[in-house]
């Protein structure tokens, strides 16, 4: 497209709607738990209303109670629009309503996020600027939305009913280039503001100095940061200061009540083996740390500098990129698992860390103070920058299906092939054996969210259910045997299942050979019945490997799924930890992930505001408050306030 030449307005073709009424179309749709999938669905959908067209007007007749919301949705093609909206400035809707209490909202969906207007009276022309359309796409084509939607709401004080008549829906052309930056030089959204948004590098350093000052102020009582969630921001009232002081005092007591590895010095001492293990204590399961103290893993995943977004070929999305050959050039990187590809990605988090701390080493050193100060006691999966240290327990991971591994199906290793066994043995010898004597390793994850429920690779003539059961038994037995050969002192934490259990034969096989069953659970709280089934089928304690609550914030466009306010996140995070910690077979929960994903998407397009810190390395205050409160309550939730006797270790109870 010649971007210097204005294009013509494009009007929705209401005549096409009848033909598209029964049509199906395929689109990519993001999911809260990450990733996404191709969805085959009707090209036109509606909820809470009936619709029709006379060729010149789209007529929507809501069948909802006053105060409720209805919507009508169409793919761009079904409405007569082109696939690419590059060169367009706005989407405009003209409508009229029989009911003066009718309000409408116009929305455009991309593969990942939503662009929308505010609610307005139906008699007004709605204008939706498309300036930030690329932020809806993740890594997919930036000007190709997947759907447009008209929302209808009736004011609860009006009861006339009637129809909404949409006379015109039009894409209006821009007068100039629409390839405009959407992220600033710090990786932040350009078009909006929020408290704590970084404007200059001096802001970054001021935030760090405020945090260091808070550390220094409480050093005489502990090494805990006192001012929870207020780094770089002056407190507004005395009550909040008193709350921070109480939290700091509580954590002074907590620090003195834990051992070197973070276990509680509470109750009857347990056997100290020098490494982490599991044991059933006082009617509940717990980790036991190397000193013999009970331990419940409160962690965060993905502590790393490499939270990247592809930039090559789409440099125009970014206000400013650093030189590729200067001191900040280490922020450029290759995509993970691509060893010889171009350095086509950039990590704004890495870039901001260099600006804030001057070096990655200084950041890492500060991080080892931050994590326990805030309440974490574990560095969860994929924490590449916190391996091989002796300040906080951490996890390591392996994959059975990397490049070079024989596969029986996509993502599934061919565990029946002797070549795979030799390959995995060599991988463990190289990556696990050198760390066999490290007492700080909580355990090993092997793989992540394999699609066990979608297994469909039984050989012709074999019963699929029986074959998949045999496959699972062989997979877990061989992974366990080979891992224990090279890491005999460490726990096998399982394969990180998704929440919905696959066939019981698969779950039983995991319980037979894993020390711990890890399940990733994205929900407001782990569903009790579902997790009871996990535990009863496996006979093992359970670690939650991932969970989070996406933030509804001006920092990013709304996602396609539910996002939560700061108040909701504070409440729900604390409740998630409470409900899970009081479950007797729980071993811990790890928040996914350390830093917010970038608005322009990582390699697979994920671009969620789900980090514990933002792209400028500032913590999200509501999460800190919830975490610190939970850390204070945790020993009581676990029943560790009274001495308890051990009832038998996992090692003794293991079924071989």
468 token code pair: 């998949």
135: in domain: yes
How do residues 183-236 score in pLDDT, each as one tens digit?
999 999 999 999 999 999 999 999 999 988 887 775 543 443 333 333 333 333
Within 13 A of 51's CA, how many CA atoms are on the CB side? Answer: 25
235-240 average pLDDT score: 33
182: in domain: no
Q: Is the pLDDT of residue 239 over 80?
A: no
Does 301 lie in the same domain as 163? no
At residue 104, φ and ψ (nearest 5 deg) are -135, 155
* Helix or strand holding residue 132 (H, E): none
How do residues 608-618 score in pLDDT, each as one tens digit?
999 999 999 99
How do residues 521-542 score in pLDDT, each as one tens digit?
999 999 999 999 999 999 999 9
User: Tokens 């096409």 — which residue?
Assistant: 16
236: in domain: no
CA atoms of 566 and 573, how far apart (whole Å)? 10
Q: Is the pLDDT of residue 249 over 60?
A: no
Confidence of residue 23 (pLDDT cuts 50, 70, 90): confident
Share of the chain above pLDDT 90, in %: 77
Q: 51: domain range?
A: 10-173
At residue 6, the pLDDT reads 55
Say how many domains are in the chain. 2
Kindly report the length of the chain.
656
481-489 average pLDDT score: 98
How do residues 361-414 score in pLDDT, each as one tens digit?
999 999 999 999 999 999 999 999 999 999 999 999 999 999 999 999 999 999
Does 157 lie in the same domain as 303? no
CA atoms of 97 and 94, how far apart (whole Å)? 11
Q: Is the pLDDT of residue 343 over 90?
A: no
512: in domain: yes
Say whether 529 sits in a helix, a strand or coil: helix
Bridge partner residues of 25 (DSSP): 41
Q: What pTM was computed for the model?
A: 0.91
Burial of 172 (0-12, 13-18, 19+ CB in 10 A): middle
User: Whole-number mean pLDDT of the chain?
Assistant: 89
How do residues 155-179 score in pLDDT, each as one tens digit?
766 556 789 999 999 999 999 899 9
Please state, as a whole number, how many other Cβ atoms lie within 10 Å of the Cβ of residue 88.
Answer: 21
Q: Is the pLDDT of residue 417 over 90?
A: yes
Q: Could you tell me where the beta strands, DSSP code E, fall in 213-358?
A: 277-281, 284-288, 294-295, 297-300, 309-310, 332-333, 345-346
**Residue in 272, 266, 287, 301 with CA at minimum distance from that of residue 542:** 287
Among residues 117, 149, 173, the one where a domain terminates is: 173
Does 23 lie in the same domain as 160? yes
Chain CA centroid to CA 603, Å: 14
62: in domain: yes
């Amino acid at each position: 497209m010649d971007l210097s030449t204005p294009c013509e307005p494009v009007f929705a073709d209401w005549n096409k709607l009848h033909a598209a009424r029964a049509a199906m179309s395929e689109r990519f749709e993001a999911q809260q738990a990450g990733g996404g999938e191709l969805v085959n669905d009707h090209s036109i959908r509606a909820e809470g209303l009936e619709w029709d067209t006379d060729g010149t007007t789209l007529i929507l007749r809501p069948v909802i109670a006053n105060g409720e919301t209805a919507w009508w949705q169409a793919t761009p093609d079904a409405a007569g629009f082109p696939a690419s909206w590059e060169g367009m400035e706005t989407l405009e809707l003209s409508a009229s309503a029989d009911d003066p209490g009718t309000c409408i909202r116009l929305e455009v969906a991309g593969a990942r996020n939503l662009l929308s207007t505010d609610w307005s009276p139906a008699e007004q022309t709605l204008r939706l600027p498309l300036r930030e359309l690329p932020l809806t796409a993740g890594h997919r084509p930036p000007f190709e939305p997947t759907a447009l939607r008209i929302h209808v709401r009736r004011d609860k004080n009006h009861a006339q009913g009637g129809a909404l008549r949409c006379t015109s829906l039009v894409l209006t052309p821009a007068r100039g280039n629409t390839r405009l930056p959407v992220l600033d030089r710090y990786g932040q959204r350009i078009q909006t503001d929020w408290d704590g948004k970084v404007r200059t590098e001096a802001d970054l350093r001021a935030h760090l100095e405020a945090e260091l000052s808070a550390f220094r102020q409480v050093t005489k009582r502990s090494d805990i940061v006192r001012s929870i969630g207020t780094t770089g921001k002056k407190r507004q009232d005395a009550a909040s200061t008193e709350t921070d002081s109480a939290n700091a005092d509580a954590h002074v007591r907590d620090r003195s009540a834990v051992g070197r590895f973070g276990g509680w010095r509470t109750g009857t001492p347990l056997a100290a083996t020098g490494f982490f293990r599991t044991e059933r204590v006082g009617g509940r399961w717990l980790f036991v740390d190397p000193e013999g103290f009970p331990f419940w893993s409160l962690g965060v995943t993905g502590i790393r500098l490499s939270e990247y977004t592809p930039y090559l070929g789409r440099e125009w999305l970014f206000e400013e990129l650093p030189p590729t050959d200067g001191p900040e050039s280490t922020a450029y990187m290759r995509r993970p698992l691509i060893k010889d590809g171009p350095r086509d990605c950039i990590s704004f988090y890495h870039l901001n860390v260099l600006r804030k701390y001057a070096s990655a080493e200084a950041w890492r050193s500060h991080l080892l103070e931050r994590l326990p100060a805030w309440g974490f006691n574990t560095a969860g999966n994929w924490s590449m920058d916190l391996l091989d240290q002796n300040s906080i327990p951490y996890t390591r991971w392996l994959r059975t299906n990397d490049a070079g591994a024989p596969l029986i199906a996509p993502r599934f290793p061919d565990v029946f092939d002797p070549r795979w066994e030799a390959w995995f043995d060599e991988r463990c010898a190289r990556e696990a054996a050198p760390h066999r004597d490290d007492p700080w390793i909580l355990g090993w994850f092997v793989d992540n969210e394999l699609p066990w429920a979608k297994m469909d690779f039984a050989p012709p003539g074999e019963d699929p259910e029986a074959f998949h059961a045999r496959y699972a038994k062989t997979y877990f037995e061989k992974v366990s045997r080979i891992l224990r050969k090279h890491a005999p002192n460490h726990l096998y934490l399982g394969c990180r299942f998704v929440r919905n259990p696959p066939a019981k034969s698969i779950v039983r096989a995991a319980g037979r050979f894993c020390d711990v069953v890890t399940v990733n659970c994205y929900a407001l709280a782990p569903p009790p019945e579902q997790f009871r089934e996990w535990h009863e089928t496996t006979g093992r304690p359970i670690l939650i490997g991932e969970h989070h609550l996406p933030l509804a914030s001006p920092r990013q466009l709304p996602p396609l799924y539910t996002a939560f306010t700061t108040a909701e996140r504070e409440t729900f995070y604390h409740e998630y930890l409470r409900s899970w910690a009081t479950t007797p077979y729980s071993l811990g929960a790890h928040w996914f992930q350390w830093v917010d994903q970038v608005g322009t998407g990582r390699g697979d397009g994920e671009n969620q505001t789900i980090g514990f810190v933002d792209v400028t390395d500032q913590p999200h205050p509501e999460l800190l408050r919830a975490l610190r409160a939970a850390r204070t309550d945790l020993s009581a939730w676990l029943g560790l306030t009274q001495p308890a006797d051990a009832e038998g270790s996992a090692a003794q109870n293991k079924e071989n």
